[in-house]
Structure 1
Amino acid sequence: MMAPFWLCALLLSLEAAMSAHADMNLDCRPGSVTLVWTESRSEVDPSLFRLGNCFPSSFSGQEAVFNVDLNDCNFRRLVTSDKLIYTNDLTYISHPDSLILSFNHLVVCTYERPKDWYPLIYSPVFDTYGEGDLEFHIRIMNDDFSGPAESTSFPLGSIIPIKATVEQKTHQPLLLLLEECVASTTAELQQDSSIYPIIDNKGCLLDSKISRSRFEPRQKSSEIQLSLQAFKFALGEEVVIHCKLLAWDPSLLDHTKKACHYVKDYGWELLDNPGYNNLCDCCESSCKSRRTRSTVLGKHGRVQKAVLGPITITDVKS
């Protein structure tokens, strides 16, 4: 077992000094990091900060908070004779029309190397496209997404929390998307199956136009959370939700690789960066790739079919 760390932390900037408009607190603990970035500029959107490939654990006002493990978020590790040095990049991705330019800061946590610590053989340090299989999961969660649901029966109009994840193993960090989801009364979809469309058109949450359904802010790029309002379909019967999950290179989003939901009195919004809401414009028509050849099963990502349920939606009328 790894001996206790003696802890110290450094924060270095790509600039000469920390921005006068911000304050950052970094707490490097054995095996994990807490980073709090506080901005004075009201134009800065804290949801657009990233620590490596991780989204903020929470954000409010002008503050972004990350509570992460050193094995996550694409931390890089450098081993010297007496030190373990973990580095990462805190990045702000600004809107295209924002007056605030994108920027990043280098985050460094330095620990004394325990005398009995040795690196694992072939432990990957740099990003690579691994050959190992990706593992996808999808499940019904409790109200705050902290654990599995205790019941699979939902009153009409209530919220069904759904969480999908992908275990990335040796792959480069990927963004998990829900490409398509439909509800049916059958465990296998047939041509004559009666269905209720939920997500279609390559990531458009169609149900959000007529309900309170929405994608929740991401906690990790490898997870996606959906608050789905229980719909009027096959009331009282067992319903199965069929989905296509897509793990994709986050730098290659386009009209066919996205997560969009409809916001009342505003329009379609892109989950991962509202500054590129134009990727959702096709949700009212047809979202087609401009590429002549699909690369979904290539090195950039993977598609996986998944079945969720059965669940039962009950009529609340007395």
Structure 2
Amino acid sequence: MVLESNLPKPLPPSLLNQTFPLVCRPEGWIPPFLIPAYGSAEGHGGLVFHMALLNEDLTGLAKTSLFPLGSFIPIWAAVDQKDHQPLLLLLEECVAATTPELQSASLVYPIITNKGCLADGKTGNSRFLPRYHSSAILLYLQSFKFALGEEVYIHCKLVAWDPEVFDIEKKACHYIKETGEWELLDDPSQSDLCKCCDSSCKPRLKRGVDSGILRHFISSLNELFSSIFI
């Protein structure tokens, strides 16, 4: 899946292509970066998932894919809510790879593993940012050394889930270095669900709302990693 351009923002069809002369920002406000280019994929049950790189102040799409080593790359993902029941968007797995399709021979760097554990947050400083809506998630990924001189692809498995139900398979956990503990993004009081992040979050037979895999191609990363690895 490559980046697409001029896609409509993920709102119900009745709201598309209309202009609303409003400047107020009530609770639940949807950021303006939903309008420009981003990747898109359709899940098994007809849900539409999106991913995009944001600029550093989170107000729009990134204008470049060049990121200095150690800087942060804001990655946004969302699922179209439409007329569905409330949905919780989760990043179940994410890896950086040197190929547009994951293969057994692909060189990979794990970012999110173990059913929603942000592994890169323990070795680096990556973290999830607070949600503005349950159907979207913001990953603040610290750039890292990987695949000198090669194009890099970020592959993520996106899952839409019941926002009222968390378990060891359906979660978004990041590591808090100040406390030395894993924390559940959406409800820190349930952070015990993240304890398996240091071992194995064994799968259980439960059925989710829907899931889809979105392979998000970050363009011009040949130049990115050529400039990072000095």
Structure 1 and Structure 2 fold alike (TM over 0.5) = yes
SS of 1:143 mapped into structure 2: coil
| 2:155 aligned with 1:242 | yes
Matches for 1:217-236 after TM superposition, within 5 Å: 217-236=130-149
Could you list the runs of 5+ residues in structure 2 that have no partner in the other structure? 1-21, 31-43
SS of 2:140 mapped into structure 1: strand
Q: 1:206-236 CA distances to partner (integer Å, 9 max, x unpaired)?
A: 0000111000000111110011000110133
Mapped to 2, the partners of 1:252 and 1:269 lie a distance apart of 16
TM-score after normalising by structure 1: 0.56
Which structure shows the higher strand fraction? 1
Q: CA RMSD in A?
A: 2.2
1:251 Cα deviation (Å)? 1.5
For the structure 1 residues 275 and 317, does the alpha-carbon distance in structure 2 shift closer, same or farther, using more than 3 Å as the test?
same
- Which residue of structure 1 aligns with residue 207 of structure 2? 295
Greater RCO structure (CA 8 Å; 6+ sep): 2
Out of 175, 179, 200, the residue aligned to residue 262 of structure 1 is 175
Out of 279, 288, 303, the residue aligned to residue 193 of structure 2 is 279
Say if 1:235 and 1:315, in contact at 8 Å, map to a contact too.
no
- Which residue of structure 1 aligns with residue 225 of structure 2? 313
Matches for 1:107-146 after TM superposition, within 5 Å: 133-146=46-59
For the structure 1 residues 279 and 268, does the alpha-carbon distance in structure 2 shift closer, same or farther, using more than 3 Å as the test?
same
Mapped to 2, the partners of 1:255 and 1:238 lie a distance apart of 33
Say if 1:153 and 1:314, in contact at 8 Å, map to a contact too.
no
Out of 147, 150, 164, the residue aligned to residue 251 of structure 1 is 164
Out of 73, 78, 81, the residue aligned to residue 160 of structure 1 is 73
SS of 1:136 mapped into structure 2: strand
Say if 1:134 and 1:169, in contact at 8 Å, map to a contact too.
no
1:132 Cα deviation (Å)? 7.2
SS of 2:96 mapped into structure 1: strand
- The one-letter code sitting in structure 1 at the alignment partner of 2:214 is A
Matches for 1:149-188 after TM superposition, within 5 Å: 149-188=62-101
Mapped to 1, the partners of 2:28 and 2:190 lie a distance apart of 27
Mapped to 2, the partners of 1:172 and 1:277 lie a distance apart of 25
Same amino acid, percent of matched pairs: 53
For the structure 1 residues 67 and 195, does the alpha-carbon distance in structure 2 shift closer, same or farther, using more than 3 Å as the test?
closer
Q: Tell me the number of residue pairs that the alignment of Structure 1 and Structure 2 aligns.
A: 191
Q: 1:125-144 CA distances to partner (integer Å, 9 max, x unpaired)?
A: xxxxxx97211000111112
Say if 1:156 and 1:314, in contact at 8 Å, map to a contact too.
no
Mapped to 2, the partners of 1:231 and 1:216 lie a distance apart of 19
Could you list the runs of 5+ residues in structure 1 that have no partner in the other structure? 1-29, 35-65, 70-130
1:309 Cα deviation (Å)? 2.2
- The one-letter code sitting in structure 2 at the alignment partner of 1:306 is L
- Which residue of structure 2 aligns with residue 97 of structure 1? none
